[in-house]
Amino acid sequence: MTNTTSISRMPNPGEFVPELKDISAALFRATGNQSVPRATMSLVHLRAGQIVGNTYLTILNTGFLRKAGESEERITAVSSWQDAPYFTEAERAALALVEAVLQPAQQGKERVSDELYAEAARHYDEKALATLTIAIGQINFFIALALIGKPQPVSSLADEQWD
């Protein structure tokens, strides 16, 4: 599905800041070390897009999950993962981490509690936990571009995103 009506607020920021391509490539290399399954990364990124209410990130990461062969049940249930039966304990820990980072903490509490960190550490070794942390930072980097620039919703990075 291609949208012919422009909704982007800005042209491709990479045209003005060519280093963006290098930053993006470095982040993808850092998170592509296979210590965390790519599906988990896409689930986390999809949940981030849902939390911030961004169509671009939601459609893009839904597309990644579909291309990877994920079921519609799993993709659809990301928004209600806490009570959905489709996710592993490791995936749940990763989804809880991205929610903790992106949502305000309850008054007087840390966003990422020691208990949440310990739960994630039960499922991910040190390299994987560092990679997952970088993946959450990666989506936060792209959240700013997506919310401010409002690129065209696409299901593939090969599609035209910017006006």
Whether residue 157 is contained in a domain is answered as no
Contact between 153 and 3 (Cβ < 8 Å) = yes
Q: What domain range includes position 143?
A: 37-149
Whether residue 136 is contained in a domain is answered as yes
Cα four-point dihedral sign 155, 43, 56, 3: positive
Whether residue 2 is contained in a domain is answered as no
Whether residue 24 is contained in a domain is answered as no
Q: Which two tokens stand for residue 17?
A: 């800041």
Whether residue 25 is contained in a domain is answered as no
Whether residue 22 is contained in a domain is answered as no
| End-to-end CA gap in the chain | 17
Whether residue 68 is contained in a domain is answered as yes
Counting the structural domains of the chain, the total is 1
CATH number at residue 45: 1.20.1290.10
Q: Which tens digits make up the pLDDT trace of 54-98?
A: 999 999 999 999 999 999 999 999 999 999 999 999 999 999 999
Ranges of H-type helices in 53-83: 55-67, 72-77
**pTM for the whole structure:** 0.90
Whether residue 94 is contained in a domain is answered as yes
Task: State the Cα–Cα distance between residues 20 and 148, nearest whole angstrom.
Answer: 15
Task: State the Cα–Cα distance between residues 92 and 86, nearest whole angstrom.
Answer: 10
Q: What whole-number percentage of the chain has pLDDT above 70?
A: 96
More confident residue, 150 or 124: 124
Residue 83: count of CB within 10 angstroms of its CB: 6
